[in-house]
Amino acid sequence: MKITDVKLTKIDLGSRPVAWHDATFTETSLTFSLTQIFTDDGLTGIAPSGNSQELIEGPLKDMIIGEDPMYMEKIWNKLYSGWCHPASSGWEIRALSAIDIALWDLNGKILNQPVYKLLGGDRDRVPAYVGGGYYAEGKSIQDLQEEMVEYIGMGYKAVKMKIGRLSITEDIERVKAVRDAVGPDITLMIDANHAYTSAQAILFGRKVEELDIFWYEEPVPATDYEGCAAVKNALDIPIATGENEYLRWGFKDLINHRAVDIVQADPAICGGFTEWKKIAALATSNNLKLAPHGGGNIGAHAVASLPEGLNVETYPGLRAAGAKVMNFFEIEDGYIVLPKSPGLGLEIDWDFFK
């Protein structure tokens, strides 16, 4: 079997009813990306990710046409080192990640096994949480409380909210209000999206420690390892970070600085499943758990592959908008139930891609 073609397609899912904001970013629209790898046997691997058509259908495609798709390490190293100088982060690694994930889907179909079993196989149900609590124009604290309660009504047992866009005092009140709304038994996480200095992050963390925060995500910029270590050492709240980190070497530095408690390597960003496995080996050898950032249809396979996989991020708004293009894994009593079908187990409405 040989690879014959690679394609990236992006589907415009339309504008958000209301633009949402985290601490540092605003999004007004939704897009669904699909990377496909075709073979001369007629099997196709897919990944619900991908950034640059120029990269994926250009130099990266050229590097792997004619390759046997089961030579995963060979292909990964070709994609990584096929430049004049290998990229260590950024757009190229994200494009590589999409191709690698599609290759794992393809290999699952070749071997008639789901990806989480090929990655290691630990279980077929993983805890899910909502990535929500965004800022929006005119959104009140009561609106935020109602949003979080709605997620609990959907069956979730864990929710995450944004902080860092407003003043520290205002955001402390928002976190207190959410804890009051969801009650003491719901897992609550906070995400600063790298908005703070280490001093600000420590101040905020000390003010909310009493609210039983499960983790404090990206309190400082992703490459400020010393600052993140200072936050981690000053607080009793576990620090989660890594969604903006790339490759095993970046995570080695993060972990060696003792700057993280929960490693959030995202397969769609960090180098695909092939690289995620190596990052997981680094994390687990340091007695750390992993909770991938990003969409649950990819992250669930990673988390289900090893006992140190903690939980999976999901986005109900994206699930609702994207459901017309792709099925999203079901949530049952706060857990994602992984499919038993080969590969990633995704069902695509191909009419959108004609």
Gap between the Cα atoms of 114 and 337, Å rounded: 12
The C-alpha R_g of the chain, in whole angstroms, comes to: 20
Question: Residue 157: CB partners within 8 Å, gap ≥ 6?
Answer: 127, 129, 186, 187, 333, 334
Could you report the per-residue pLDDT of 9-22, keeping only the tens digit for each? 998 888 888 888 99
Gap between the Cα atoms of 57 and 65, Å rounded: 11
Architecture of domain 3-112: 2-Layer Sandwich (3.30)
Could you report the per-residue pLDDT of 202-221, keeping only the tens digit for each? 999 999 999 999 999 999 99
Torsions phi, psi for 264 (to 5 deg): -105, 35
**Mean pLDDT for all residues in the chain:** 95
For the chain, the structural domain boundaries read 3-112, 117-337
pTM of the model: 0.96
For residue 132, which of 118, 121, 146, 120 has the smallest C-alpha distance?
146
Architecture of domain 117-337: Alpha-Beta Barrel (3.20)
Could you report the per-residue pLDDT of 94-129, keeping only the tens digit for each? 999 999 999 999 999 999 999 999 999 999 999 999
Tell me the sheet residues that pair with 34.
Answer: 9
Q: Can you give the pLDDT at residue 319?
A: 67
Element spanning 21, H or E: strand 3-21
pLDDT band at 87 (very low <50, low <70, confident <90, very high): confident
Element spanning 233, H or E: helix 225-234
Number of H helices and E strands in the chain, helices first, is 14, 13
- Asked if residues 248 and 273 have their Cβ atoms less than 8 Å apart, the reply is no
Give mean pLDDT, residues 260-283: 98
Helix axes 91-111, 272-285, angle to 10 degrees: 100
